[in-house]
Amino acid sequence: MAIRDGDTEPAVDGAGEARAGEADAGEVHGKGETDAGDTDPAADVNGADVNGAVDEGDLDATDLGRDLDALVAERDQYLDLARRVQADLENYRKRMVREQTRIVERANAGLVESLLPVLDSFDAALAGIDPERTELAPIRKGVELVHGELFTVLERSGLARIEGMGQEFDPNEHEAVMQDDGDGEPVVAEVLRTGYRLKERVLRPAAVRVTRAGAPAGEPG
């Protein structure tokens, strides 16, 4: 068959198309085998990364729990220490208050005790002024006023007289300087010097004359 110029050879074109089709089919078939039978390396790597991230998260949570427990224990330790320090400070404050109170009381006791002779002088002055003498009444009134004001000031500090006249003899509050013989219980018959008590503590015992119920009248010991 004669080939004219300008015509395309049909046989050659058909064979080329057939070969091209076979090549495309082979590529498609090979790609399908790859998808069906082989494992994607990238997928394996991604899967390993996800699992590793999960495991690492579990470890981080465990470490966080340990750290939290340690912090709680440390907090409890500091709280206990703070409570002990606070208790020590409170005890120290109370001890200082007691000590200061004792210092003030000792100072007051010393001052009050030093003024007892002044009270004795007032008592002696009042005893020496005859209340029957009207011309001495203003003097007696003045002495009584000053004596009363002084005793009121000392009374505010806790000073109190020790009562003794007619009471049973108490060696803790009375000092027997004279005594009548007898078989009865000792009783205070006369107060020779006033005794004083400062806040339930005997500052000075009362000097007294003691008699007994069974003693004959007018027979001193």
CB contact set of 131 (below 8 Å; sequence gap of 6+) = 137, 140
Residue at 220 is within a domain:
yes
- Domain interval for residue 181: 161-221
Which range of 2-6, 116-120, 164-168 scores highest in mean pLDDT? It is: 116-120
Residue at 172 is within a domain:
yes
**Residues paired with residue 179 on neighbouring β-strands, in sequence order:** 210
Please give the model's pTM, rounded to 2 decimal places: 0.54
Run of H or E residues at 212: strand 206-212
Residue at 135 is within a domain:
no
Residue where the block lists tokens 């907090």: 75
Q: Quote the tokens at residue 200.
A: 């339930």
Residue 130 pLDDT: 86
Eight-class DSSP state of 157: T
Position 33 pLDDT exceeds 80: no
Position 12 pLDDT exceeds 70: no
Residue 40 pLDDT: 52
pLDDT band for 77, please (50, 70, 90 cuts).
Answer: very high
Tell me, what amino acid is at 193?
Answer: R
CA distances from 96 to 103, 105, 113, 157, 159 (A): 10, 14, 25, 21, 25
Can you say whether the dihedral through the CA atoms of 135, 140, 146, 149 is positive or negative? Answer: negative
Residue at 216 is within a domain:
yes
Residue 80 pLDDT: 93
Residue at 198 is within a domain:
yes
Kindly report the CATH number assigned to the domain that includes residue 168: 2.30.22.10
Instruction: Render 90-114 in DSSP notation, one character per residue.
Output: HHHHHHHHHHHHHHHHHHHHHHHHH
Residue at 11 is within a domain:
no
Let me know if 202 is exposed, middle or buried by CB neighbors in 10 A (0-12, 13-18, 19+). middle
Domains held by the chain: number: 1
The CA distance from 220 to 176, in Å, is: 13
Residue at 204 is within a domain:
yes
Summarize pLDDT for 110-133 with one digit per residue, the tens: 889 999 999 999 999 998 888 888
